[in-house]
Each structure stands twice: as structure tokens, then as C-alpha cells.
């Protein structure tokens, strides 16, 4: 008789493993390899379910089509003397198998008796319906393909412990079909992005993951370090894809994109994982306003392609992705909070005159107040006030573009012609999260050089999230980069939105966790 989760509750995992090892030995004695190979599996459970979804028992009884062969994990098992019901789960779902001793033969049925929950098995036979009407395969052949030594955890079919799910994703995927759906949607999302950009004549490329320290830029974040032994060279894992992709714009690849992993040595929370997946794309002769149109069109299209509609429910709120998305001014909202009126130039001047107390007055959060104490420029304070006071109030039912960013927090973006203390930049927000960041690219090599110098000075003051002085990138700009716009999109956060997942860990197959002994 197969061991079950209930039986396992009365004995240790080690006892159950030993029992299954004994069964593996018995299989070998019977001439059955418990880890065999070479089986051909011609059908999926979904193929059988779809083909016969409307067929009744009488029709299936008369069906003379070829028998079906399916394989998968045993997720249910019930033996009644000379007949056994089991369910096999493959990549498309579950299907019941009805095995009778007189149909499969004595040896195969003896093998079936050595089958446990979690084993991988193969069955061949015609479709039928049981007395209760359940579509099944009536097996004429049964083979055990893989003996699982470790039993599925108790209540595995409803596995809810998040640490176990993230740490043992292989169990999570076996136990929860809805988890499989999350990652299938993620795959559809990435495939949809590629089709969308390919249709616009973008070229997919690959850029280095290992950067020399002076090249580890493209974002304000702390990189991870490593060392190449042969060259005796310290290297950094990339924190962004940007600067190498823009080198390609210089080289004449006018529309490029990359979907790749980036690594940032920062905190872990429901929206952040130290390694995550970014889409970055760059288009010559485009502006950040062009990319706003592209972004709202692309994300709306992807929502429909992945979920079936451009309206998605995320954490209880319906988000309508159809364009156009509202534009919200970072400068304007912060100026409004502090009573600064007039033109953008007048608003910037008024905010520059505020005392520290005037900035801090409405903010109670201790960490945010401590963060403010480290800020130097008015632009940094504007961004801080937006994050602390405005961002939580952004529309919940619509994505939105935040525009009018200060120069000081945008070291790679082009200055606005009408007000050089601002840059041509936007961030897209949805579901309370930033999902994209884009700007018209700075292609003036002397301006970029000065910005890098300011970053180096900030690092000397103790700021650990600054960009290095990338001299080769300056050399590339000196060769001439056409006017261009570029954007980074968080794939993981889009996947969260399109699967209604509350944490980034739910959409990353193997998120970073503390070692088990540290729990």
C-alpha cells in the first residue's frame, strides 16, 4: 500500500525515505529500473481532456481511436484489491488513471503496489468515464519511471508556508497548479515583449554581466563585487544594462533592447530582490515623450496578451491599462504641498528657500527623516518629498507617468531646454510600484563628464549609491551619439501585476533567502 501524507504524520521523514528505498530495491529485484529512461510520451493530460470533454461514457466505449500514453507525477492513489485509481499530473494538469490487474498483467500490477505519492509513472490506454462520470484512462500498460525517495510534505496539495514554497520551489510547483500558472504567465509576458519590440524593428542584443569597476554604472545602486583570478581583476556584477546599450546606439544599432538579469546589493522586501530581470530598450531619434506613448501601448497590449484583458485585478483593485495614462508632475505636486506657486522656475526657487523643518513638518516616519538628513541638493529633497508624501497617493486604478524630475537625481538624462534644473524623464507607476524609468538621453560628452564628476564627489562624501566615472563611455559619446531615448522596465513587477502576486518572491522561481540554519 502506498504511503500517504496521513501515514507519514506518524513516522519520521527518515523512516519514510528508508521505506521507499526498500521499495526501490524490490523493483530492481523484479527487473524494473526505478530510474529508467527512454519512454516516449505521445500525449498530455490536457490533450485527452480537451478531446473528450463532451463525450459521454457510451461514446467513449465505442471509440476506436488509438490509445493515449501519458506520464506525470502521482498526486492521488487509491487501491481497492485488484483495481487502483491514481492521478497523474503533467505540465498541463491532472488526469485520473484506472488500473485493473487483469488489464495490465500481474507484473505491472505488482509494480503498481510499490508506487507511492510523488513517484513519476507512465500509463497507456483508452479514454473512459467512471461511474461518477470522471474522465479517465483505462490502463492497458503501467510503468513506474522514477521512484521518489522523499515524500511530499504533509498537506502538500495546499502548501501555504511561504518559506517552504520559496525554498523548495520544486515542491511548490508540484503541489500548486496556480503557481505553475504564475510562471507560465511570466513566460508569456517575456515572449510578448520580444514580439512587440521585434515588430518595431528593435534588435535584441546581449551585453556583459561582469563590469570593470569604472563601468558599473547606469543606475544609482550598490553593486556586488567579484574577482577574476587569471587576470587578477576586481569586477562588479552589473546594476543596469544602460551604458553598454547606448554604446551600441553610438555604433549605429539605432533600436536595441536586452532582457537580462541585473544585481543590486540592496535590501529585500516585497518589491525588491537582489537579482532581478530588466528590459532595457533604446531608440535613436526618439524623445521621452515618444517612449510614454510606446510604454502605455506596450503594457496595455501585454496585459491583454497575458491575462486576456487590459483591465487587471491586483490586490483587490482593478487597474485599467488602456491608454492614455495620466501625467503627474513631481515638481508640481511637491510645490503644491509646500505652497510654492508660479512657473516651474519660480517653484524651484521657492523650494530652494525652504528650511529643513519646513520640508520635514508633515513626515513622521523616522527612517524617512533620517534619510532627509543625508540629502544635499534641492532636487534630492524634491524627490524625497515625492516619495514620502505623494507616491502613496498616486492613482490606484490607473497606471500613471510621473514627470518633471530634478537634474540632481538624473545623472544620465538630458536637461530640459526650457528649465535646465529639470530633465526630460518619466517614471511609470502601477499598483503602487514603479514599473519603468525612462528619459531622453544625455549625449553631450562634456555635460556627461561633469555629471560623472559630481557623482565621484558624492561618493567621496560617503554616498554608496553613486555612478563611477566611465571614461570609455565618455569616449563613445565623443564619437557622437544621435539624439535618443531609453527605458528600463521591471519584468518582475509587471509579472506581479499580471498574476496578482503580492510579493516579488512569488514571481521569481528561486528568490534569495537566508540560509536555512539562520532561520
* Closest to 499 in 3D by CA, of 276, 302, 234: 302
Q: What is the DSSP code string of 206-232?
A: ---SEE-GGG--SSSSPPPEEEETTTT
pLDDT given at position 321: 98
Residue 371 domain flag: no
Write the burial class of residue 516 (CB in 10 Å: 0-12 exposed, 13-18 middle, 19+ buried).
Answer: exposed
Q: Are residues 141 and 181 in the same domain?
A: no
Q: In whole angstroms, what is the distance from residue 465 CA to residue 220 CA?
A: 5
Does residue 308 fall inside a structural domain? Answer: yes
Strand pairing partners for 90?
Answer: 93
Which helix (DSSP H) or strand (DSSP E) does residue 478 occupy? helix 471-478
Q: Per-residue pLDDT tens for 381-403?
A: 999 999 999 999 999 999 999 99
Cα 208 from Cα 241, distance rounded (Å): 8
Same domain, 42 and 182: no
Strand pairing report for 275-284 and 433-440:
unpaired
Q: Are residues 225 and 294 in the same domain?
A: yes
Is the domain of 137 the same as that of 203? no
Do the beta carbons of residue 141 and residue 123 sit within 8 Å?
Answer: yes
In a domain, 444, yes or no: yes
Grid-cell match 530634478, residue found: 406
DSSP 485: E
pLDDT value of residue 485: 98
- pLDDT for 334-359, tens place per residue? 999 999 999 999 999 999 999 999 99
Distance CA 19, CA 138 (A): 29
Nearest to 180 by CA among 284, 278, 46: 46
According to the model, what pLDDT value does residue 6 have?
42
> In angstroms, rounded to a whole number, what is the distance separating the alpha carbons of residues 410 and 442?
10
Q: What is the crossing angle of helices 288-307 and 491-499, to 10°?
A: 40
Q: How many domains does the chain have?
A: 2
pLDDT score for 162: 78
Q: How many helices (H) and strands (E) does the chain have?
A: 19, 18
**Quick check: is 319 in a domain?**
yes
* Judgement on whether residues 415 and 459 belong to the same structural domain of the protein: yes
Strands (E), 10-118: 68-80, 83-90, 93-100
Query: What are the CB-based long-range contacts (under 8 Å, 24+) for 318-325?
Result: 318/397, 319/396, 319/397, 319/398, 319/399, 319/430, 319/431, 319/497, 320/397, 320/398, 321/296, 321/399, 321/430, 323/293, 323/296, 323/297, 324/296, 325/292, 325/296, 325/398, 325/399, 325/400, 325/401, 325/428
* Under 8 Å between Cβ of 186 and 495: yes
Q: What is the pLDDT of residue 518?
A: 46
**Which sign, positive or negative, has the C-alpha torsion 119, 125, 130, 136?**
positive
Question: Distance from first CA to last CA of the chain, Å, rounded?
Answer: 36
CA distance linking residue 227 with residue 208, whole number of Å = 15
CATH assignment of the domain containing 248: 3.30.930.10
- List of long-range contacts for 443-446, beta carbons under 8 Å, 24+ apart: 443/414, 443/477, 443/480, 443/481, 443/482, 443/483, 443/484, 444/477, 445/474, 445/477, 445/478
pLDDT of residue 355: 95
pLDDT of residue 8: 41
Spatial strand order in the sheet of 327-329: 203-204, 255-263, 275-284, 484-490, 433-440, 422-430, 400-406, 327-329
Strand partners, 152: none
Cβ neighbour number for residue 138 with a 10 Å cutoff? 19
Which of 443, 454, 482 is closest to 379 using CA atoms? Answer: 454
The predicted pLDDT at position 159 comes to 58
Residue 164 within any structural domain of the chain: no
**For residue 157, what pLDDT is reported?**
53
Distance CA 435, CA 292 (A): 13
Identify whether residues 265 and 139 lie together within a single domain: no
- pLDDT per position as a tens digit, 137-180: 999 999 999 999 998 876 555 556 778 889 999 989 988 899 99
In contact, 423 and 464? CB cutoff 8 Å: no
Cα 61 from chain centroid (whole Å):
46
Q: What 3-state DSSP class applies to 311?
A: strand
In the prediction, which pLDDT does 241 show? 95
| Strand positions, DSSP E, 393-467 | 400-406, 422-430, 433-440
Question: Is 200 domain-assigned?
Answer: yes
pLDDT at residue 155 in the model: 59
Residues of the chain with pLDDT under 70: 1-11, 154-160, 517-519
Please list, in sequence order, all residues whose beta carbon lies within 8 angstroms of the beta carbon of residue 417, skipping any fewer than 6 positions away.
none
Residue 74 domain-assigned (yes or no): yes
Q: Are residues 321 and 187 in the same domain?
A: yes
Per-residue cell: 354: 525652504
Shared domain for 75 and 119, answered yes or no, is yes
d(CA 305, CA 326): 23
Question: Burial of 10 by CB count in 10 Å (0-12 exposed, 13-18 middle, 19+ buried)?
Answer: exposed
Q: Are residues 316 and 425 in the same domain?
A: yes
Task: Kindly give the residue spans of alpha helices, DSSP state H, lying in 94-157.
Answer: 101-104, 106-113
> In terms of DSSP H, where are the helices of 129-176?
162-167, 169-175
Q: Are residues 184 and 57 in the same domain?
A: no
Residues 251 and 318 both lie in one domain: yes
Q: What is the CATH number of the domain that holds 98?
A: 2.40.50.140
Task: Report pLDDT for 10.
Answer: 43
- Indicate whether 364 belongs to any domain: no
Three-state DSSP state, 154: coil
The domain in which residue 506 lies consists of 177-326+395-512
Same domain, 144 and 243: no
pTM for the predicted model, two decimal places: 0.91
Amino acid at each position: 500500500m502506498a504511503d500517504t501524507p496521513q501515514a507519514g504524520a506518524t513516522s519520521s521523514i527518515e523512516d519514510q525515505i528508508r521505506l521507499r528505498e526498500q521499495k526501490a530495491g524490490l523493483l530492481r529485484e523484479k527487473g524494473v529500473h526505478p530510474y529508467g529512461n527512454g519512454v516516449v510520451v505521445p500525449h498530455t493530460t490536457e490533450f485527452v481532456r480537451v478531446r473528450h470533454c463532451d463525450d459521454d461514457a457510451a461514446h467513449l466505449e465505442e471509440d476506436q481511436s488509438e490509445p493515449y500514453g501519458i506520464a506525470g507525477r502521482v498526486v492521488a492513489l487509491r487501491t481497492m484489491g485488484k483495481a487502483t485509481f491514481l492521478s497523474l499530473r503533467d505540465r498541463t494538469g491532472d488526469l485520473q488513471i484506472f488500473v485493473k490487474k487483469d488489464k495490465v498483467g500481474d507484473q505491472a500490477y505488482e509494480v503498481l503496489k510499490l508506487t507511492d505519492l510523488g513517484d513519476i509513472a507512465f500509463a497507456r490506454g483508452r479514454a473512459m468515464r467512471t461511474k461518477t462520470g470522471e474522465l479517465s484512462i483505462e490502463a492497458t500498460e503501467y510503468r513506474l519511471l522514477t521512484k521518489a525517495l522523499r515524500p511530499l510534505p504533509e498537506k502538500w496539495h495546499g502548501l501555504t508556508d511561504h518559506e517552504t514554497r520559496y525554498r523548495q520551489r520544486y515542491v511548490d510547483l508540484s503541489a500548486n497548479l496556480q503557481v505553475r500558472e504564475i510562471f507560465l504567465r511570466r513566460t508569456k509576458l517575456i515572449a510578448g515583449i520580444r514580439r512587440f519590440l521585434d515588430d518595431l524593428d528593435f534588435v535584441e542584443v546581449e551585453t556583459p554581466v561582469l563590469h570593470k569597476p569604472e563601468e558599473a554604472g547606469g543606475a544609482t545602486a550598490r553593486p556586488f563585487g567579484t574577482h577574476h583570478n587569471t587576470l587578477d581583476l576586481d569586477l562588479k556584477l552589473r546594476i543596469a544594462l544602460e551604458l553598454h546599450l547606448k554604446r551600441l546606439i553610438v555604433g549605429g544599432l539605432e533600436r536595441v533592447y536586452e532582457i537580462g538579469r541585473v544585481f543590486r546589493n540592496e535590501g529585500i522586501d516585497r518589491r525588491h530582490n537582489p537579482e532581478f530581470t530588466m528590459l532595457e530598450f533604446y531608440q535613436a531619434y526618439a524623445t521621452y515623450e515618444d517612449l510614454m506613448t510606446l510604454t502605455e501601448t506596450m503594457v496595455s497590449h501585454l496585459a491583454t496578451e497575458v491575462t486576456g484583458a487590459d483591465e487587471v485585478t491586483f490586490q483587490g483593485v482593478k487597474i485599467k491599462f488602456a491608454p492614455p495614462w495620466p501625467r503627474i508632475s513631481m515638481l508640481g505636486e511637491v510645490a503644491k504641498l509646500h505652497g510654492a506657486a508660479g512657473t516651474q522656475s519660480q517653484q524651484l526657487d521657492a523650494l530652494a528657500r525652504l528650511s529643513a523643518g519646513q520640508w520635514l513638518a508633515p513626515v513622521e516616519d523616522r527612517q524617512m527623516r533620517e534619510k532627509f538628513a543625508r540629502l544635499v541638493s534641492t532636487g534630492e529633497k524634491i524627490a524625497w518629498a515625492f516619495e514620502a508624501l505623494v507616491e502613496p497617493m498616486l492613482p490606484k486604478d490607473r497606471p500613471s507617468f510621473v514627470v518633471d524630475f530634478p537634474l540632481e537625481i538624473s545623472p544620465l538624462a538630458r536637461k530640459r531646454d526650457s528649465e535646465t534644473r529639470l530633465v526630460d524623464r518619466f517614471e511609470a507607476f502601477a499598483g503602487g510600484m514603479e514599473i519603468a524609468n525612462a528619459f531622453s538621453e544625455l549625449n553631450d560628452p562634456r555635460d556627461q563628464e561633469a555629471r560623472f564628476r559630481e557623482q565621484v564627489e558624492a561618493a567621496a562624501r560617503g554616498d554608496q549609491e553613486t555612478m563611477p566615472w566611465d571614461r570609455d563611455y565618455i569616449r563613445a559619446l565623443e564619437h557622437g551619439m544621435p539624439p535618443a531615448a531609453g527605458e528600463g522596465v521591471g519584468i518582475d513587477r509587471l509579472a506581479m501585476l499580471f498574476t496578482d502576486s503580492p510579493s516579488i518572491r512569488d514571481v521569481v522561481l528561486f528568490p534569495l533567502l537566508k540560509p536555512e540554519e539562520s532561520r
